[in-house]
Amino acid sequence: MAGRLQGKVIIITGASRGVGEACAVACAREGANLVLAAKTLTADPRLPGTLHDTAAAVEAAGGEALVVQYDARDAEQSTMLVEKAVARFGRVDAIINNAGAIFWAPVADWPQKKFDLVFGVNVRASFALSRAAIPEMRRAGGGHVIMMSPPVNTTAAPGKAPYLISKLGMTILAMGIDAEEKEHGIAAHALWPVTGIRTAATVNLGMGEDAEWRTPDILADATVELLTRDPRTCSFRAWLDEEVLAEAGVTDLTKYRCDPDHEPSCMSIELVDPGWAARHGR
């Protein structure tokens, strides 16, 4: 039986591990062909996962994969990435702006190079890839743009301001794309986890432990649900993963726990919206 994304061509950045890898495999199970973009082709013992590992997982799940080594900070490489996708698969139906950089410190302690890195990988790269892909999605008759970014909130988050500006910039970019491209059948979404997600970044930066995290599969499954919607009838929304899955009828989230005996905290949404848990009885 054909999957819900049968024949769709999806570009994913940051696809060598973590959320990007999980999204790629989940989309492949639904019949999609994946264009996998990231910097890592060779295994590094400090940071497991390569594009070739993800490609093998995609093919095992029934999809086809194109591996493209890609520096998210280079706008010309975003154009090249789209061109390679079209050369291989003939079209682009969706992009998932997942590649990300993170650094936390008070503003006075942010090195300029760190600021430029975070903005380059987060908002600038998302702009460059979206700008390059939109004409191809128009030619395909529509499509989806997904930003891995949070709902807009103006509550102060000490120590995280530049990082959050970059992530909120992605969300506002999605809002603009959605409004501008409606007539072309292109929908844009932001997607953010309620809880922390166990990835190489969260582990290496000491951002929690298994009892506080869910697996990347929860974001991957929410991504698939957004991609299966008709983009011509969607309107922008800054989604939380739990909201997407609830609308799809998935309310038992225990399978996403990293520690099967503990329900994770609302750590990720509290990062961008302090007080969210209290307002929602969590």
Question: What are the sequence ranges of the domains in the chain?
Answer: 9-279
What's the token pair of residue 249? 């009828």
Query: Could you give the CA distance from residue 153 to residue 179 in angstroms, rounded to a whole number?
Result: 20
CA–chain centroid gap for 231, Å, is 17
Residue 104 sits at φ, ψ, to 5 deg, of: -125, 135
Query: Could you give the CA distance from residue 265 to residue 191 in angstroms, rounded to a whole number?
Result: 18
pLDDT classification of 40: cutoffs 50, 70, 90: confident
Half-sphere exposure of 248 (CA within 13 A, CB side): 19
Is there a catalytic annotation at residue 163? yes
Alpha helices in the chain, H assignment, sequence order: 18-29, 51-60, 75-89, 112-119, 125-139, 161-180, 200-204, 217-227, 241-247, 267-272, 276-279
* pLDDT for 153: 85
Asked if the model's pLDDT at residue 205 lies above 90, the reply is no
Query: Could you give the CA distance from residue 2 to residue 111 in angstroms, rounded to a whole number?
Result: 50
Average pLDDT over all residues of the chain: 94
* Tokens 């503003």 -> residue: 107
CATH topology of domain 9-279: Rossmann fold (3.40.50)
Asked if the model's pLDDT at residue 188 lies above 70, the reply is yes
Q: Whole-model pTM?
A: 0.96
Reported as a single tens digit per residue, the pLDDT across 135-178 is: 999 999 999 999 999 999 877 778 889 999 999 999 999 999 99
The fraction of the chain above a pLDDT of 90, given in percent, is: 82
Query: Could you give the CA distance from residue 241 to residue 219 in angstroms, rounded to a whole number?
Result: 6
* pLDDT for 1: 61
The fraction of the chain above a pLDDT of 70, given in percent, is: 99
Name the catalytic one among 70, 104, 127, 163: 163
